[in-house]
Every structure is written in C-alpha cells, then in structure tokens.
Amino acid sequence: MRGMERLADLISRHAQDGRLARILLRPERLAAPVAVDAAEIAARGLTGDHARPGKRAVTLIQAEHLAVIGACLGRDAIPPELLRRNLVVSGLNLSALKGRQLAIGGAVLRLMTVCAPCSRMEAALGHGGYSAMRGHGGWCAEVLTPGRIAPGDAVRPLSEE
C-alpha cells in the first residue's frame, strides 16, 4: 500500500483533545438530571447517579449534536438535561472512538455501544424527538479506572498500544 495510509492509522488520529463541558447526574430512575461542578466516577459509574453498572455505566453525548437534534426538530440547540446523558463532551468525534479508551480527568472509560434514544425522547422533545436523536444519542461507556472529573477536563483518546 505504498503511498496510501492504512485505515487503522487514519482512524487513530484526532485533530485535538475534546473537553468535558457538563456533568449531569440522575439521582434516581426517571428523576430530572442535575448539573454538578465535579463528580467521582466509581467502578459502577458516577457516584450519585442512577446508573447501570458494566458497559452502560456512564453515558456521553457530543455537545455539537445538541444543535443537530434541535435543527431536526426546527428548534435551537436542545438542553442536554432533556437527553438524560451523564457527560457532555465537545471538540472530539465520539463516534470515531467506539471501543477505544478515553481519559477524562482522573478516570478512564471505554466507549462500548451507541446510547440509542428511548421512547421517552418523544415526550421530552415533542413530535419527532425519537427520530431526531437517532444517530445523535451518544455513547455508553464502561469504567476502566475510577477517578474525579470536572467540566473543563480534557477528553483524550488513549493509545491503542
């Protein structure tokens, strides 16, 4: 493949680290998310969050997708609290990181699976809300290394090596 780059090499490159824009905790099932100034990510997920341990322990969404979802609904950017994701990340394409490890503050997560919208999005966003979120609903991650996080922390893909 002289002169051509390997796909794996292209996928592994990122123009910049991302930033953690917001942290949202859901204190109990169906409770409204609450923004916090810092949080601890424990082995089971965010401390104080009603989470699923394992590959869905923490949920992430790109800040840039909030405007896309809003545009699909004929509105301005959607407030992230309506979408029930834990971490709002900007400046980094999360979809390019499936299966990869991310360092955020003192924690390390692995992006595992798409966080598909649920039927509650139709109620939260109005007619067409479910469809507007498809492809923009974010990612579920498992916790590899617990640690403290805060808005402004770098979101950095870790090397595959």
Amino acid at 161: E
pLDDT exceeds cutoff 60 at 1 = no
More confident call, 91 vs 29? 91
**What does the DSSP assignment read for 75-96?**
SSPPPGGGGT-SEEEESS-GGG
Helix (H) or strand (E) holding 157: strand 154-157
Average pLDDT of the chain is 91
pLDDT (tens digit per residue) in 68-123: 999 999 999 999 999 989 999 999 999 999 999 999 999 999 999 999 888 888 99
**Between 3.40.50.12780, 3.40.50.720, 2.40.128.110, 2.40.33.20, what CATH number should domain 7-157 receive?**
2.40.33.20
Give the whole-number percent of the chain exceeding pLDDT 70.
Answer: 97
The DSSP 8-state label assigned to residue 97 in this structure reads: G
Q: Domain ranges for the chain, please list them.
A: 7-157
pLDDT (tens digit per residue) in 117-142: 888 889 999 999 999 999 999 999 99
Q: Distance (Å, rounded) from C-alpha 140 to C-alpha 149?
A: 17
